[in-house]
Amino acid sequence: MTLMQPASRGFDAINLAGTDADSFAAAVQPYTSRMIRLAARLAPRCGPDDIVQEALIRAWRHRERFDPERGSIASWLMAIVANEARRAGSRLRLPMAVRMPMQRASVDDRIDVEAAVAQLSPRQKLAIDCFYYADLSVLETAAVMGCSESTVKTTLADARARLRIGLGEPR
């Protein structure tokens, strides 16, 4: 099994400081799909497009702070999206999400797996959401979680171990 996914690094060498709006838009465009998916996973009750737009505006305002020596542009953007998604979710001030019951009898494998994922610990769920659903790399997941890549891998392994129990015999 290979956990590592190739990160999109096409624009990682860009120094964003001083870029104009057009260049900045072009630089971040390749990452919007994953940004939207991440927003949708982390704040499912909020509009992911709005979250990503807000995140991109924040990124634009702080673009001079992006240091390619310290990490990829993708990781930087994902961390900002995660922050925005969390803020958007908290502003709804909804009750704590109710854990979905296990749906072992479901014929929809995805629902079944997602129901099992919902039973994970918050950090395990976050790692799964980022890596498997938002399709982030381990490096980007680490940026979102604020931890090292090895911690992400460990967390993912622990999550899969728990999921095996929750899912029974995965097909």
Partner 1 sequence: MTIDQDELVDRALRESGDQWRNSVSNDLRVDPAWFRRSARWSRPAMALLVAGAATAVLLIAVTIRLVLWSAPQTAPGTTAAPSALPSAVATEPITTCAGGVSPATCAEAARIAVSAVASSGWTPMRIWINSGLLCPDQGCLFDPNANFPYPIPPDGGQWVANAEIAFAESDKHAGMNIATDGSGLVPVLIGYRVPALAWCSGTCPSAVTTEGPFRLELVLPHLDWKPGDPITGTAILGFDGPASTTVWGSGGGPIAFSYAEVGGIRAVDPIWSADCAPHLLDPPTPISAGLSKSGAVSGDEPDADFVRSFLFGGPGVRLPAGSWDISAIANFHDGADCSGAAYTVMATVRISVTGELPSSPGPAHPEPNPRGAYVIELSSAGSAFTPITVGAEGAGCERLLADADANRICLIANNLNPLIIGAEAYGALNDAPSPAFHALVWRARADADPLVCGRGGLEGELLDRCLAEAQAADYTYAAGQIQIKVRIGGAAPRPDAID
Binding region for partner 1 (CB under 8 A): 1, 20-22, 24-26, 28-29, 32-37, 40, 48-50, 52-54, 56-57, 60-62, 65-66, 76, 79-80, 82-83, 86-88, 90-91, 93, 96, 109-110, 113-114, 117, 122-123, 125-126, 128, 132-133, 135, 144-147, 157, 160-161, 163-164, 167, 169-171
**C-beta closer to partner 1: residue 76 or 139:** 76
- Token pair of 67 as six digits: 């240091």
Closest distance of CB 105 from partner 1, Å? 17
**C-beta closer to partner 1: residue 13 or 93:** 93
**C-beta closer to partner 1: residue 95 or 101:** 95
Closest distance of CB 81 from partner 1, Å? 10
Neighbours of 66 (CB within 10 A): 20
**C-beta closer to partner 1: residue 101 or 126:** 126
Closest distance of CB 72 from partner 1, Å? 14
- Residue 144 and residue 88: Cα distance in Å, rounded? 16
Closest distance of CB 101 from partner 1, Å? 17
